[in-house]
């Protein structure tokens, strides 16, 4: 593999890694507000730790895929949980399907609230786009992220520049309560733990397709660094407008409203793009797991997954989140802990 090809593959993996993590919660600012911004100036240390974990765990998971040549998260769960892996795999399959359904529900709500189209139209359009890209496997996943992630990055950067230099809004980087070192560490570990579980399937599959280990190291390092940079920019932007942003269900909307009406349209497109990149990764993970566990052909597994996600999306975003997110975070903590243990043994 030439140096150019290696670097380009690493960049594709990095964009896919970033796209899997930055879903609707990230793009809206709600995740960043709840995990980091509330700690004021101390949130910077928490984000730096999260960036380090994203880099380290990302490279570790990609390496596992490279060494095992596994196409799904099944092998990783067996390594981490041993005899309990069938139970964990079953939960992971159900949970990631429901997270994908939650993303579809979020897309439907986005179309309904901001474009004035019926909820089900938004769900069907989004589901069709996801099906079209996942049908091409990893090439489709790489393609959609290569198109969308640079746009989201640019929007993120523009909001950061505006909030820092173009807006004369008075601000003070103060936490809303007394912050301890434990709070800083807990926020970083909790955030990375949940997100890395959802990224497992895509990262393992990506690692299995790599011939040169330097490519996945570039992908993991660049992806983790980019996530850290985006977290820092969004966090700094939100901190300038505390406490006003706490009054918004979508905190970033407060910033976008200050920037003018045209940016509101751009923000809706960015939100939908963030939903799409996470959704294609989740659906791809489920399809690969179904193919691996039940030996169902990929096209049939994809159709079954899309139909299940569309049906579950009508349950509602908030109900699904409340049901599956807490346990996924616990699984993520265990995965990260075992990886540290395995690294220590080596």
pLDDT tens for 124-136 read: 999 999 999 999 9
What does the DSSP 8-state code read for residue 249? S
Neighbouring C-beta atoms of residue 199, cutoff 10 Å:
29
Give per-residue pLDDT as tens, 192-206: 988 888 888 899 999
What distances in angstroms separate CA 215 from CA 58, 66, 210, one per listed residue? 12, 10, 7
Hey, what are 43's tokens?
């949130």
Calpha distance 137→288 (Å, rounded): 9
Confidence band of 48 (pLDDT split at 50, 70, 90):
very high
Q: Cβ of 249: how many Cβ atoms within 10 Å? A: 7
Instruction: Dump pLDDT digits (tens) for 262-281.
Output: 888 888 899 999 999 999 99
Q: What are phi and psi of 255, to 5 degrees?
A: -70, -45
**Of 114, 148, 130, nearest to 12 (Cα)?**
148
Look at the block and give the residue holding tokens 């700690």. 39
Q: Which of 7, 8, 9, 35 is nearest to 21 (CA)?
A: 35
Q: Which domains does the chain have, with CATH numbers?
A: 3-337 (1.20.1740.10)
> Quick check: 291 and 301 in contact, CB under 8 A?
yes
In the predicted structure, residue 18 carries a pLDDT above the cut 90 = yes
Q: What angle do CA 254, 255, 257 make, to 5 degrees?
A: 65
Q: What is the mean pLDDT of residues 85-112?
A: 86
* Lookup: tokens for 121: 């139209």
21 vs 207: CA distance, rounded Å: 17
pLDDT (mean) for 314-343: 68
Q: What SS3 state is found at 2?
A: coil
Give the pLDDT of residue 327.
67
Under DSSP, the state recorded for 136 is T
Question: For residues 99 and 239, what is the distance between their CA atoms, to the nearest angstrom?
Answer: 28
Q: pLDDT tier at 140 (50, 70, 90 boundaries)?
A: very high
Q: What is the pLDDT of residue 77?
A: 75
- What is the full DSSP assignment across 171-233? -----SS---HHHHHHHHHHHHHHHHHHHHHHHHHHHHT-SSHHHHHHHHHHHHHHHHHHHHH
- Helix, coil or strand: residue 288: helix
Instruction: For 40, list phi and psi in degrees, rounded to 5.
Output: 60, -140
- Quote the pTM value: 0.90
Of the pLDDT bands very low, low, confident and very high (cuts 50, 70, 90), residue 169 is low
Alpha carbons 273 and 269: distance in angstroms, whole number: 6
Mean pLDDT along residues 176-202: 85
Q: Which DSSP category does 309 fall into?
A: H
Q: Is the pLDDT of residue 146 over 70?
A: yes
| Number of other CB atoms surrounding residue 174 within 10 Å | 11
Q: Is the pLDDT of residue 89 over 90?
A: no
Q: What is the pLDDT of residue 132?
A: 96
Rg (CA), the chain: 19
Q: What are 157's two structure tokens?
A: 């950067």
pLDDT of residue 303: 95
- Of 134, 284, 307, the C-alpha closest to 200 is 284
């Amino acid at each position: 593999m030439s140096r150019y090809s290696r670097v380009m593959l690493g960049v594709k993996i990095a964009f896919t890694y970033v796209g899997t993590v930055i879903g609707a919660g990230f793009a809206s600012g709600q995740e960043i507000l709840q995990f980091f911004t509330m700690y004021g100036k101390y949130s910077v240390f928490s984000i730096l730790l999260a960036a380090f974990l994203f880099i380290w765990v990302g490279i570790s998971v990609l390496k596992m895929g490279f060494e095992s040549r596994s196409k799904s998260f099944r092998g990783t769960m067996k390594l981490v949980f041993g005899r309990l892996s069938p139970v964990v795999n079953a939960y992971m399959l159900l949970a990631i399907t429901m997270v994908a359904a939650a993303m579809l529900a979020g897309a439907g709500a986005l179309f309904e609230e901001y474009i004035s189209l019926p909820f089900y139209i938004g769900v069907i359009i989004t589901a069709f786009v996801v099906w079209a890209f996942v049908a091409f496997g990893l090439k489709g996943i790489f393609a959609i992220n290569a198109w969308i992630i640079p746009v989201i990055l640019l929007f993120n950067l523009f909001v950061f520049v505006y909030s820092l230099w173009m807006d004369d809004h008075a601000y003070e980087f103060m936490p809303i309560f007394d912050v301890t070192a434990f709070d800083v560490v807990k926020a970083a570990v909790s955030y990375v733990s949940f997100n890395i579980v959802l990224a497992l399937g895509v990262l393992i599959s990506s690692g299995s397709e790599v011939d040169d280990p330097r490519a996945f190291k570039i992908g993991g390092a660049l992806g983790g660094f980019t996530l850290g940079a985006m977290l820092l920019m969004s966090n700094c932007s939100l901190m300038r407008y505390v406490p006003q942003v706490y009054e918004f269900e979508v905190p970033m909307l407060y910033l976008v409203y200050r920037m003018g009406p045209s940016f509101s349209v751009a923000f809706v497109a960015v939100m939908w793009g963030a939903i799409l990149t996470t959704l294609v990764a989740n659906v791809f993970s489920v399809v690969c797991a179904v193919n691996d566990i039940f030996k169902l052909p990929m096209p049939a597994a994809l159709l079954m997954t899309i139909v299940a996600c569309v049906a579950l999306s009508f349950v509602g975003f908030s109900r699904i989140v409340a049901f599956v997110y807490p346990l996924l975070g616990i699984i993520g903590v265990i995965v990260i802990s075992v990886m540290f243990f395995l690294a220590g043994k080596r």
